[in-house]
Structure 1
Amino acid sequence: MEPELGTVQSVARAFHLIEFIARSREEITLSALAEATELPLPTIHRLLRTLVSLGYVRQLPNRRYALGPKLIHVGEVASLQMGAWARPHLAAVVEQLGETANMAILDGDRATYVAQVPSTHSMRMFTEIGRRVHTHSSGVGKALLAFLDEEHVQGIVAQAGLPVATPQTIGTAEALARELDLIRGRGYAIDDGEQELGVRCVAVHVPNMPIPTAISVSGPVARIDDGFAERAIPLLRQAASEISAEATHVTLLS
């Protein structure tokens, strides 16, 4: 876990610890952190003590460590900023297709919408920014799940379950696995009235993002037919590529 040239070693190590605690998705011991990071225990203890004092890490009564409440605010602001710079790319999709475009990120066991450019139609899909939806029954959610490892998907299903919102909603783990295989093969997800009757959505995964991300275009089934999907998919893929490139550029500058 050696930092890159020109970086501050202690800062890099502190963020590596935060990232590892986040990836573990559960409380973690000091010894497990030492084994994973190959840092000396005194170094890890000193870094954790600082992070705990700042609120970015919590030490629990059982002496294990977990992410702290300060990160909630940081994450919320980061999501808003990410939505702001993705919005022009979503606007280009709306300009071409005339339907609502959204961006969502994986937020625990749900997908959370962080950006939206609405359709100009009076009859359109209303999904407010900040809304959290189940991953198995939404286009963006299934696009996110399809590019996670199997263990992560199983963890999300175990935690959130597979509640059935409409007769079209996937209700079993076996059916979800088949759907995710299909999405990986064709490169996009479809929500055909699975989250809300009368609404159809086409979504794609945004590659190389710091957090799993997907974008979509959605609207009433009367307007989102097979021909619409064929037009939408190349535009969504182009927007996803541009968002990914911009995120990489921001990361390199930071």
Structure 2
Amino acid sequence: MNQQSHTSQTLDRGLQILEILASAPADMTISEIATTLDVHRTIANRLVTTLLNRHFLSRSLVGRYRLGTRLVCLAATIGGELRTIARPILMALNEETSETVHLVVLTGTDVLFIDAFESPRALRVASRVGRLLPAHATSVGKALLASLSDEELKALYPATRLEKTAPGTITNRSDLFKQVELVRRQGYSTSFEESEAGVGSVGVAIVDRNGAARAALSIAAPSSRLTPELPRLIAAAAQSARQIGEQL
């Protein structure tokens, strides 16, 4: 029997909308969502309205849609002990650096952003809590991929080409594996315009007392501001990751 006969097309389309908006660089209109989903505008409108009523989406004053607060609440339930331990340390890191700080976990070839403290500066990287991004396009993702064995990496990435999400995204598997090896040697990862134009970050894996990489944290900032502060931010991120890991 066809496996698709056991699935709900409506639910699948609703979940696709969440994924589309999670990876979109900006808020989207109903027409844009319908085009991306390849459905009639009426169908897209009905799906979006349902998600909006359940607070999985929110609507701007100009009629564009983004992920809603309900997803943030769901994301907050992931990694309960991890988040409880990490929160005060992430807050202190945010206050020390005045930059946006994220906590993420690896899920397949993606990273899920489960907590954040935003920079107080006017020009800043916004919180990505609740979003899924390709691991190869983020500093935190590469930091977590570096904790895997070569065999696990090859199993995760059987194809040689990788999805491009921004100007600097790594799009070749061999280049990714070289980056991962570099991260293993230096103990941290960087990303410059790999997930989003104009954004840079430093990522460090959070390793528990048993030596397992449980999560990763990042400090993200506009690329122009990150570069001159890189050594200081790397040291701060590494220290915070150690502090969290020592309690896990």
TM-score with structure 1 setting the length: 0.63
Distance 1:153 1:127 in 2: 28
> What count of residue pairs does the alignment treat as equivalent?
173
Paired residue for 1:100? 100
Distance 1:244 1:90 in 2: 12
Secondary structure of 1:185's counterpart equals helix
The reply on whether 1:223 has 2:190 as its aligned counterpart is no
The reply on whether 1:153 has 2:148 as its aligned counterpart is no
CA contact (8 A) 1:205 1:213 kept: yes
Residue 83 of structure 1 and its aligned partner are, at CA, apart by: 2.0
CA contact (8 A) 1:106 1:211 kept: no
Secondary structure of 1:195's counterpart equals coil
Distance 1:75 1:199 in 2: 23
The reply on whether 1:128 has 2:148 as its aligned counterpart is no
Q: Which has the larger radius of gyration?
A: 1
Distance 1:172 1:186 in 2: 21
Which residue type is aligned with residue 228 of structure 1?
E
Which residue type is aligned with residue 218 of structure 1?
A
Distance 1:246 1:139 in 2: 23
The reply on whether 1:201 has 2:201 as its aligned counterpart is yes
Runs of 4+ in 1 over 4 A off after TM superposition: none
Query: For structure 1, which runs of at least 5 residues remain unmatched after alignment?
Result: 1-73, 248-254
Residue 102 of structure 1 and its aligned partner are, at CA, apart by: 0.7
Secondary structure of 1:206's counterpart equals strand
Distance 1:127 1:153, change over 3 A: farther
Distance 2:117 2:79 in 1: 16
1:52-201, aligned counterparts within 5 Å? 77-158=77-158, 162-201=162-201
Distance 1:103 1:149 in 2: 22
1:212-251, aligned counterparts within 5 Å? 212-225=214-227, 227-247=228-248
Q: Deviations over 1:145-172 (max 9, x none)?
A: 0111112212222389610112311111
CA contact (8 A) 2:147 2:213 kept: no
Distance 1:141 1:131, change over 3 A: same
Distance 1:192 1:75 in 2: 26
Secondary structure of 1:191's counterpart equals strand
Which residue type is aligned with residue 134 of structure 2?
H
Secondary structure of 1:83's counterpart equals helix
Distance 1:206 1:139 in 2: 13
CA contact (8 A) 2:137 2:195 kept: yes
Which residue type is aligned with residue 195 of structure 1?
S
Q: Deviations over 1:157-209 (max 9, x none)?
A: 23896101123111111101111111111111011000001000001111127
Q: Deviations over 1:63-86 (max 9, x none)?
A: xxxxxxxxxxx9973424522331
TM-score with structure 2 setting the length: 0.64
CA contact (8 A) 1:106 1:144 kept: yes
CA RMSD, 1 decimal:
2.3
| Same amino acid, percent of matched pairs | 28
CA contact (8 A) 1:205 1:240 kept: yes
